Every structure is written in structure tokens, then in C-alpha cells.
Amino acid sequence: MTLIPKSHPRLNSLLIREKLVKGFDDNLVAKEGLLAHGRGEAFDYLIGEKTSKSAKEAIKAAAFMLKNAENSVISVNGNFAALCPIEIVQLAKTTNSKIEVNLFYSSEKRKKAITKILRKSGAEEILGLNKKSSTKLLGIDSARRIVDKNGIFSADVVLVPLEDGDRTIALKKAKKKIITFDLNPLSRTAQTANITIVDNVTRAMKLLVIESKKKKRKLSKYDNKKNLKVSIIEIKKNLERRANNA
Ligand code: ATP
């Protein structure tokens, strides 16, 4: 592990990076996952590495949607498992959601490593491991099309963090409601999802768990397109403020 001085101005971001690198060493994270994280880091830098107002709105809407779902599923990939295993299990419990491992760069070794960390964090049932209950989702070429019949395949709401656009579009076509975490408000996933939380998953998952513990029967209207536009304006304002102070 690299020694990072506590006074480093971007300490949190570097600690998150260390987690990803450890996840790679522990076989959780694919090489491509490191690159995806790099893209995320760049956007996190632009948003000022803090949770914005628009992200908080999206988190409230996501908690409401998950709690009111018939069959909600949290889809887990390597990056997500390496960054927030405890929060994944907590969120599954507070929203009565299932956990399903679903990988783009799938291998038994990675599936095992991801299962291990989820179990260590308290997960009981984990879907996506049993070939007997698997089926194919139309419109996806990669290994991600293999889903569990009782999980993503029959879900009404799916939480897909750090996702690629093709799968999000396919899930949407399959009439699922999609919640995502994506630091890039312009990605195809961000633009396709029903609720996009433009924030680092490490910050936002903690807030989503807290929000999902609150009792709420009704939610004021949420418009994802509008909220995404606000998130872009927030980035712009943040950049202007920093440029003026430079
Ligand atoms: P799309 O196909 O949806 O346009 P993409 O090809 O740009 O997406 P991918 O590499 O498939 O992106 O997915 C990674 C996405 O996850 C990126 O948009 C990146 O900003 C985002 N991301 C990476 N790390 C994090 C993180 N820690 N928290 C939230 N989002 C992240």
C-alpha cells in the first residue's frame, strides 16, 4: 500500500483509488474496471469531490423507488464490490432487495472473489452464481446477458452502478426501472436511467442507506432529465468558482 500523507488535499480520492487497486490485486476488479474508475475520478474532480444538491434529490427518489418496488435487485460488479461491500448488504436489507453478481468481464475466479467479500460483509443470498436458475436477457452481447430468473430477469427495479450504456438500454427495453450511480452525467447510462445519482458511489451509497431507513410514504415529483441538467449546471458553476479563485 502506498503511503498517502494525511494532509493531502485529495486524500479521499486517493484512498478510494487504493481500494480499487487492492480490489484488482484480490481478483475483484478487472483491468478495464481500473480504467472506468479513472474516468470516474476525472468527473469527481470536476464536481468538487462532494455530493451535490441534485445528487441528494436523486438519492431521495432512489430510496423511494427501491422501497416501493415489487422485486428490486442490486446488480453487483467488481468495482462496486471493491468499493462498498458493506453498504451493498445494508441497502439490500433496508430496501428488501436481492443481490445479484453480474459481470461484463466474467470469470469464475472473479465471481468467487466478489461472493467472498459480500459474504464477509454479511450477505446471505447472492444470485448470479447458479447456472440452473440463469437465463438470457435479449439485446446484450457480453456475459452480462446471463441473469438470474428470480433476480434481474423478473425484477421491476434494478440498481446498476458504474454501468455500460448497452446494458442499461437493454434493461430499459425489458421494462425495468433503472437506478444508477454515474459520475458522468452525459454517459449513455446516465441519460437512459430513470434515476441517475451523479456522485461517487462511495459517498452516495452511504447516503442512500441512510435515506432508505427513513419512513416516507410519498415523494414530490422527480424528473431525471431535469435533475441531470441541474447537475451539469452545478459542475459548470463549480468550475467557474475555481477558475475565479485560481
Ligand atoms: P456509457 O456506455 O454509459 O456511455 P462509458 O462507456 O462512458 O458509459 P463505462 O466505462 O462503461 O463508461 O462505465 C463507467 C462509468 O462509471 C463512467 O461513466 C464513470 O464516470 C463512472 N464511474 C466510475 N467510477 C465511479 C465511481 N466511483 N462512482 C460513480 N461513478 C463512477
Q: 3-class secondary structure for 80-114?
A: HHHHCHHHHHHHHHHHCCEEEECCCCCCHHHHHHH
CA of 182 relative to ligand 1 center, distance in Å: 6
Looking at residue 114, its pLDDT comes to 97
Q: Cα dihedral sign for 196, 63, 110, 133?
A: negative
- Give the distance (Å) from ligand 1 centre to CA of residue 213: 27
Helical segments of the chain, H only:
11-25, 31-47, 53-67, 78-83, 85-95, 108-120, 165-173, 188-192, 201-213, 224-245
Domains and CATH numbers, the chain: 53-236 (3.40.50.12640)
User: What predicted TM-score, i.e. pTM, was given to this entire model?
Assistant: 0.94
Q: Give, in order, the Cα–Cα distances in Å from 69 to each of 124, 127, 173, 177, 182.
A: 20, 18, 18, 9, 21
Given a cut of 70, the residues of the chain with pLDDT beneath it are 1-4, 9, 217
* Number of neighbouring beta carbons within 10 Å of residue 72: 23
At residue 27, the pLDDT reads 94
Q: Is the separation of the CB atoms in 76 and 102 below 8 Å?
A: yes
pLDDT of residue 137: 87
Opening angle at CA 111, ends 127 and 85, nearest 5: 75
Cα–ligand 1 centroid distance for 103 (angstroms): 14
Confidence at residue 140, expressed as pLDDT on a 0 to 100 scale: 80
Report the pocket of ligand 1 as residue ranges, CB < 6 Å: 36-37, 39-40, 43, 162, 164-165, 181-184, 187-189, 200-201
Quote the pLDDT of residue 106.
78
Nearest-angstrom CA–CA distance, 101 and 147: 9
Report the residue among 76, 164, 200 best suited for mutation to probe ligand 1: largest number of ligand atoms under 8 A from its CB: 164
Which residues does 241 contact at the CB level (< 8 Å), separation at least 6?
A: none
